[in-house]
Copies of this chain bind each other. A is one copy, B any other.
Amino acid sequence: MKSEETIDFHLRWLWLKIFRIYNTEAANFGGTISVGYTLLNIDKDGTPSTKLGPKMGIESRSLTRTLKTMEADGLITRTTDPDDKRVMVVRLTDEGKKYRETARNTVLDLNEFLLEHLDGDDVDTFMKVSRKINTLLDEKNIFSKNHIPQPKNP
């Protein structure tokens, strides 16, 4: 089997292309894909900063950097939760809400564009397979059967 035919090959290229498209769109608004994606993951009533990282699947260190930029740009506020002072709550400013809407439209427009050009049943299957792969990738022993790593520096 050629590597071009593996499932991961497709996923890598598709996400790489979407990443670039989103970054280009975000740049039109003076932003980045990280900012856009963070905006989309902050709820209307605010989201505890500790919940944002896991929700987005990114490291807290790089999220902290993005949140600092967003606060400096007036897109969010970060305040201590009065009920639990250990918790920092991230909230959208009015400006942040406006850009969240733009990010949302970008995501929905791209999705609509794709759906317009794809067969509906095929998309359903694509989604079903994607959900199944997502579950499979959480399994602990993917490589246990035929693949025993030989550490370079034991």
Contact = CB atoms under 8 A, between A and B. Distances in A.
Name the interface size band of chain A: 35 or more
Contacts of A21: 137, 142
B122 A136 contact: no
Interface string A127-154: 1111111101110001101110111110
Contacts of A150: 29
A24 to B, nearest CB: 10
Stoichiometry, copies per complex = 2
Nearest to A117: B136
Given A122-B128, A125-B122, A137 B6 contact: no
Given A7-B126, A105-B146, A125-B126, 6 more contacts: A10-B127, A11-B18, A14-B130, A17-B137, A21-B142, A28-B152
Interface of A: 1, 3, 5-8, 10-18, 21-22, 25, 28-31, 40, 57, 104-115, 117-118, 122-123, 125-134, 136-138, 142-143, 145-147, 149-153
